[in-house]
Amino acid sequence: MNTTNVALPERQTGGTPLPSLQTRPSRLLSLDLLRGLTIGFMILVNDNGDEEHAYWALRHAAWNGFTPTDLVFPTFLFLVGITTVLSLSSRIDQGIARSRLFGHVLRRAVILFLLGLLVNSFPLFHLHTLRVYGVLPRIAICYLLVATLYLLDRGWRSKVVVVVTLLVSYWVLMRFVPVPGYGVPTHGVPLLDHDGNLAAWLDRQVFSPSHLYEGTRDPEGLLSTLPALGTALLGLLTGLWLRSARSLRQKATGIAAAGLSAILMGGLWNLSFPINKKLWTSSYVLFAGGLSLLLLALSILLIDIPSAAEPKPERARRSPWFTPLLVFGVNAISAYVLSELLAGALGSIHPRPGVNLSQTLYHPLARLIPDAAFASLVYSLLYVAVCWLPMYVLYRRKIFIKV
């Protein structure tokens, strides 16, 4: 989802109005670069040559806990929240009716959801194993809900109330509601038990094991969409902050302060409600959201704020050093879909029994490089490069595919 220039805010009829801006800020290059970094890292960690022997930082935490890989998806959802504000506010300021904008939002969400089904089922398209949950379906749902909330009320206070309500409610559900067949968490069953938690139980009631990513549960399941929406709303609140009348340096400082506060709150909550990416726990929302805020603040300070050495940020926009990330950043969804479809194709082609094409390509590399973790990393980097090349062609031709 591409960002747009930040526009002047309209006079608001509900919520808390934002102060008027004196000038129209230029497009924040940091958003495109951070999105490009996120997608590039997402492709890298999703396509390890050897998942078992990959470096710790390139694998998700097995259950409770956190690794750098666990920051990828929430950062993308966070950016979705930001760009939703910037895109919709610009169109509202142009006088486009909100009912028309909602139709556009709904269409985009449906397309994202359908792309998710395509990615999940490609290339065999077996309905009895079709996974309805997934990365793109979760993005579609969160985008639809966040955009709808923003169209209904452009103020920030209502969004804070929603975030707090979502995170606290999810904690109450996961901590105190008895899980049928298991018991009350911390009494009849351990808190966040792998299969004996409410989120996993609910997913098994909705879908049979063949439709769930891990058989007995799904990391993008139904109930955990509630806190995931909280992640996107953190992005929405950040987008509102970016549209305020403060200087860009003040905005970056405020974002950094919010990030540190969120990390602290997430770390404290982790003591009683563990950080867990697969269940998208409330502590995980705050901890990962805080890190995303710090990354954004750092990006703005390094890239978008003029310095004595480089007083004109426009020159930095043409720097070849930024091109690799911009290539992914301006066509993020296309890059992700390409990487997943390619992975599906490589995994379904079997040059010989029991060995798919991905393994066939990796084995010579593993024999050449004795260190299994390093060999896996090299394969992942090559895979990212293969996905980057067609995106570079689109970038050079100024083709930006919008969903």
Share of the chain residues as helix, strand and coil, in percent rounded to the nearest 5: 65, 0, 35
Question: What per-residue confidence (pLDDT) applies to 346?
Answer: 93
Q: How far apart are CA 282 and CA 389, in angstroms?
A: 38
Mean pLDDT for the chain? 89
User: Is residue 312's pLDDT more than 70?
Assistant: no
- HEC per residue, 285-321: HHHHHHHHHHHHHHHHHHHHCCCCCCCCHHHHHCCCC
Question: What per-residue confidence (pLDDT) applies to 153?
Answer: 92
Percent of the chain with pLDDT over 90: 80
- Mean pLDDT value across residues 120-135: 92
Which of 85, 54, 59, 84 has its CA nearest to residue 71? 59
At 322, the pLDDT band (50, 70, 90 cuts) reads: confident
Instruction: Give tens-digit pLDDT for 44-96.
Output: 999 988 888 899 999 999 999 999 999 999 999 999 999 999 999 989 989 99
Question: What per-residue confidence (pLDDT) applies to 320?
Answer: 78
Question: What per-residue confidence (pLDDT) applies to 52?
Answer: 86
Question: What per-residue confidence (pLDDT) applies to 6?
Answer: 33
The residue whose two tokens read 């996974």 is 131
- 3-state class (DSSP) for residue 352: strand
Question: What per-residue confidence (pLDDT) applies to 51?
Answer: 84
Residues 35, 328: contact at Cβ < 8 Å?
A: yes
- Mean pLDDT value across residues 276-283: 98
Question: What per-residue confidence (pLDDT) applies to 284?
Answer: 98
Q: How far apart are CA 141 and CA 152, in angstroms?
A: 17
Write out the two tokens for 32: 């495109």
Residues 77, 108: contact at Cβ < 8 Å?
A: no
User: Is residue 179's pLDDT more than 80?
Assistant: yes
Question: What per-residue confidence (pLDDT) applies to 61?
Answer: 95
Q: How far apart are CA 367 and CA 361, in angstroms?
A: 11
Question: What per-residue confidence (pLDDT) applies to 310?
Answer: 52
Instruction: Give tens-digit pLDDT for 343-398.
Output: 999 999 999 888 999 999 999 999 999 999 999 999 999 999 999 999 999 999 99
Question: What per-residue confidence (pLDDT) applies to 24?
Answer: 42
Q: How far apart are CA 317 and CA 322, in angstroms?
A: 7
- 3-state class (DSSP) for residue 168: helix
| Entry field: residues in the chain | 403
Question: What per-residue confidence (pLDDT) applies to 307?
Answer: 52
Q: How far apart are CA 182 and CA 189, in angstroms?
A: 6
Instruction: Give tens-digit pLDDT for 9-39.
Output: 333 334 444 433 333 445 788 999 999 999 9
User: Is residue 313's pLDDT more than 90?
Assistant: no
Residue 351 CA, chain-centre distance (Å), reads 35
- Mean pLDDT value across residues 202-209: 95
At 309, the pLDDT band (50, 70, 90 cuts) reads: very low
Instruction: Give tens-digit pLDDT for 211-264.
Output: 999 999 999 999 999 999 999 999 999 999 999 999 999 999 999 999 999 999
